[in-house]
Amino acid sequence: MHSLLAVEIPYWGQSLLRVLGGLVAVLLPAGTIVYVFLFKMMSFMQSRLGPMEAGPYGSMQLFAEVGKWLQKEDIQPDNADKRIFRMAPIVVLMSTFLLVAVVPFGPDAWFTDFETGVFYALAVSSISVLGILMAGWSSANKYSLLGGLRAAGQLIAYELPMVLAVMGVVIQAGTMNLQQIVLAQNAGSIFGSDIVGNPYVLTQFVGFVVFMIAVQAELTQAPFDMPIAESELVSGYMTEYSGFRFLIFFIGEFATAGVFAMIACTLFLGGWGVPFSWFGWTSMDSVANWMNVAGPLIVFTKMMVLVFLIMWIRFSYPRFREDQLQRFAWKVLIPVSLANIMVTAVLKVAF
């Protein structure tokens, strides 16, 4: 970071910049996702216009909603385990902020250059399960508890295919460092042709599909939204939450969608990079400095494409039944991703 600005920034300054950058990297995509996809795309898919009054084309609607939630009463049930009840949404949102720490946004624009970034990302993404279980249990409500248990069962079931799908990428790239995975994709070649580099969405297509399905389930977006199935469980683990605690859950839901899409685009779509052959770059050091500015925009664009896929599927499909969901994870996704790992490993050795 200091090499970019040609000024030596003290450690506390760097930390402050990282915190600010993390806030921007989480909240800006979350707001954009809510407006573009939840408000507008969903409405258009149902042949209506969505919010139109607040700001031009309703673009300020989110601020109105946030203001509404902030001024609502913060209700806590009498029997609730108050401290756990208050902690739960923060734990959920925290896992999102921890997750964004390993996403690289440019050759020098990263929060942490973590050797085992993939491992870390998959590990902290499961912290949200804890928060959801805490919310479900501490609400002292049958619906909340059922929703929390369903969420836990679902997230554990889909954590596995997600890890196994990423394994193929790790085998092919030969590293768990997300920055190196980006490098391997953009500097790579498919059968000697390096026109588009080697984005793993092409060579790891099965892994990509499994990963995106698992992400859909991790985010508890329809068709995997049994934990908050409103026709059965009111609102699942969120039932008893109101005011700004609900707002934190709400932000967490869409911020996590954005961050997971960023990780998916880093793993499968080449992350912040463009194919290095376009500009004659060969290694990380030869990448031009302007990629530090263009990189975040490229990540953002790719993220929007992936979130579009997630939301499109969310708005199109009805939800699974609980047993169908478990059967799909254990009997389809896990065998498929195991087979994918085997094939990848064999091909890796063969080529």
Q: How far apart are CA 141 and CA 70, in angstroms?
A: 24
Closer to another protein by Cβ: residue 44 or 278: 44
Residue by residue, DSSP assigns 251-278 as HHHHHHHHHHHHHHHHHHS-TT---GGG
CA dihedral 161, 326, 132, 38 (to 10 degrees): 80
**Residue 41 contacts another protein per CB under 8 A:** yes
**Residue 44 contacts another protein per CB under 8 A:** yes
- Token digits for 270? 């080449």
Closer to another protein by Cβ: residue 8 or 323: 323
Closer to another protein by Cβ: residue 69 or 312: 312
Q: Exactly one of 316, 331, 339, 342 binds another protein (CB under 8 A); which one?
A: 316
**Residue 312 contacts another protein per CB under 8 A:** yes
- Shortest distance (Å) from residue 47 CB to another protein: 4
- Shortest distance (Å) from residue 64 CB to another protein: 17
Are the CB atoms for 158 and 214 separated by under 8 Å? yes
- Shortest distance (Å) from residue 268 CB to another protein: 20
Q: Which of 87, 163, 161 is nearest to 121 (CA)?
A: 163
Closer to another protein by Cβ: residue 140 or 336: 336
- Token digits for 199? 């984005």
Q: How far is CA 249 from each of CA 6, 19, 35, 147, rounded to the nearest angstrom?
A: 40, 20, 17, 14
- Residue count at the site for another protein (CB under 8 A)? 14
Which one of 38-46, 109-117, 190-198, 230-238 is the stretch in contact with another protein (CB under 8 A)? 38-46
**Residue 305 contacts another protein per CB under 8 A:** no
Q: How far apart are CA 257 and CA 128, in angstroms?
A: 13
Closer to another protein by Cβ: residue 192 or 318: 318
**Residue 48 contacts another protein per CB under 8 A:** yes
47: left (phi over 0), alpha (psi -120 to 50) or beta: left
Q: Exactly one of 5, 19, 24, 45 binds another protein (CB under 8 A); which one?
A: 45
Which one of 174-182, 247-255, 308-316, 335-343 is the stretch in contact with another protein (CB under 8 A)? 308-316
**Residue 343 contacts another protein per CB under 8 A:** no
Which one of 115-123, 212-220, 255-263, 311-319 is the stretch in contact with another protein (CB under 8 A)? 311-319
Q: How far apart are CA 200 and CA 299, in angstroms?
A: 15
Residue 269's DSSP bridge partners are: none
Burial of 15 from C-beta contacts in 10 A (0-12 / 13-18 / 19+):
exposed
Residues that bind another protein (CB under 8 A): 41, 43-49, 52, 312-313, 315-317
